[in-house]
Amino acid sequence: MVKYSKEPENAAKACKARGSKLRVHFKNTRETAHAIRGYSLKKAQKYLEDVIAHKQAVPFRRYRGGVGRCAQAKQFGATQARWPKKSAEVLLGLLKNAESNAELKELKTDNLRVSHIQVNRARKQRRRTYRAHGRINPYMSNPCHIELILSEHEAPVSKPEEPEGTKKSKPKERLTAGATVAQS
């Protein structure tokens, strides 16, 4: 059994999925994962499909050096965004795996939310590139580990209305500094 960095609050109403040593850029995947945190399962899948189709963008907030600006970032309150296709495809696969795990546990897939998602750096993989004058430089890849937990989200309970006699009275009006009380 693999240890997750965080355990769900109610294990009976949650499902997990993880991928290790995935050959996909860490920085792009981290930003994509943070974009879908807290989304419902269907909304996250729709969003990632839109990212692949360039209909919605992933806002880049931490790793944004050299990232261009685009108008699609405005809806997230950012200016820089991209469309990391490979990261979106990998996350879609993980969401699909988590969904099948939920069906195996007989959870309602309509109520599932991304309660936890985490991307960690994996060990770099080495290649080499050939340079001028017979030199060789490293050509490293930056893979990552991804783990996510989908939890069944309960509908919010509305606050019961209080009976008429228990309502609090309005606070008394305060006097401004230097004002006098008008007597009648």
Higher local confidence (pLDDT), 106 or 177: 106
Angstrom distances, CA of residue 104 to CA of 111, 157, 178 = 15, 28, 71
Picking from 155, 144, 117, the residue whose alpha carbon sits closest to that of residue 39 is: 117
Q: For residue 154, what pLDDT is reported?
A: 78
Q: For residue 170, what pLDDT is reported?
A: 67
Percentage of the chain surpassing pLDDT 90?
Answer: 80
Percentage of the chain surpassing pLDDT 70?
Answer: 90
pLDDT confidence tier of residue 173, bands split at 50, 70 and 90? confident
Range in 8-12, 56-60, 171-175 the model is least confident about: 171-175
- pLDDT tens digits for range 129-166: 999 999 999 999 999 999 999 999 877 777 887 766 66
Distance CA 104, CA 63 (A): 37
Distance CA 31, CA 46 (A): 17
Q: For residue 155, what pLDDT is reported?
A: 72
Q: For residue 179, what pLDDT is reported?
A: 67
pLDDT for residue 168 is more than 90: no
Q: Which two tokens stand for residue 41?
A: 């399962």
pLDDT for residue 92 is more than 80: yes
Mean pLDDT confidence for 106-113: 93
Single pTM value for the model: 0.82
Q: Where are the beta strands (DSSP E) in the chain?
A: 14-22, 58-59, 81-82, 112-121, 128-130, 136-138, 144-152
